[in-house]
Amino acid sequence: MEMQPYGEPSAAARVLVVEDERPLVDAIRVALEREGHVVLTAHDGASGLERALHEPVDVVILDVMLPGMSGFEVCRFLRQRSDVPILLLTARVDETDRVVGLDLGADDYITKPFSMRELMARVRAALRRKGLAQTARLAVGDLVVDPARHEVRCGDRVLPLSPKEYDLLEVLSRHAGRVLSRGQLLELVWGYDYEGDERTVDVHVSWLRRKLREAGSAVRIVAVRGVGYRLEP
């Protein structure tokens, strides 16, 4: 399966479920997988925050009532560092929960008990909104990445990129300053079940580096030994 280009809502997303109630996690996982999503899970707030910050995630489903760090705290920390859509699960009908959650930067909330059908509809809505937001242009160092046009400019020069080179540069730009492993890059750019070798990533990175140099850009793609690559603006 080819990954949809960024900027369009993609059918398959990586969804992180942070909830300590295991049977509920299992039910949510089954429903999400049926929709074609890849599911990551965490059973407490601290590990949920860790995964959300260090792995590529498209949507976070976050329970408010968690052992240790509460969902509200996770939401607040995560929002300071990431724009990932956050969908809060709240057990109470209490309106203060909803208001607090939205104040802390959650995108949406759903009150327990809920139907899986309703939860899936909220996830689709979050992905749609994210898809729209992702058409906004990104400025990274001296580059402007334009997802709507699949184009990268350095000053008034358009870089002559192949579609895969563009996708790779866009993914690296969205995570500028953070290391992405070759496996993550393969999955994000070439698709979840791409059979190719991780050297594919190395080859495309070397082509990208040459094109960045030729365009006179100061942006660098740094190899992190044994891990992967990081874009330095």
Kindly list the residues in this chain that would bind Ca ion in the complex (CB under 5 A): 20-21, 63, 65
* Closest CB 26 distance from Ca ion, rounded Å: 14
Q: Which two tokens stand for residue 194?
A: 């791409």
Measured from the CB atom, the residue of 21 and 35 that comes closer to Ca ion is 21
Residue 89 or 188 with smaller CB distance to Ca ion? 89
Q: Which residues contact 86 (CB under 8 A, 6 or more apart)?
A: 59, 60, 62, 75, 78, 79, 105, 106, 107, 108
Beta-sheet pairing, 86-90 with 59-63 = parallel
The percent helix, strand, coil of the chain (3-state, each to 5) is: 40, 20, 35
Q: What is the dihedral of CA 203, 54, 129, 63, to 10 degrees?
A: 150
- The nearest distance, CB 109 to Ca ion, in angstroms, is 14
Q: Name the residue nearer to Ca ion (CB basis): 46 or 65.
A: 65
Which is it for strands 59-63 and 138-140: parallel, antiparallel or unpaired?
unpaired
CB of 69 to Ca ion, least distance (A): 12
Q: Which is nearer to Ca ion, 86 or 145 (CB)?
A: 86
Which residue, 20 or 142, has its beta carbon nearer to Ca ion? 20
What is the dihedral angle through the alpha carbons of 13, 18, 24, 30, rounded to the nearest 10 degrees?
A: 20
C-alpha pair distances (Å), 144 with each of 76, 140, 156, 169, 210: 29, 6, 10, 11, 17
Write down the least CB distance from residue 90 to Ca ion, Å: 10
Min. distance of Cβ 103 from Ca ion in angstroms?
Answer: 20
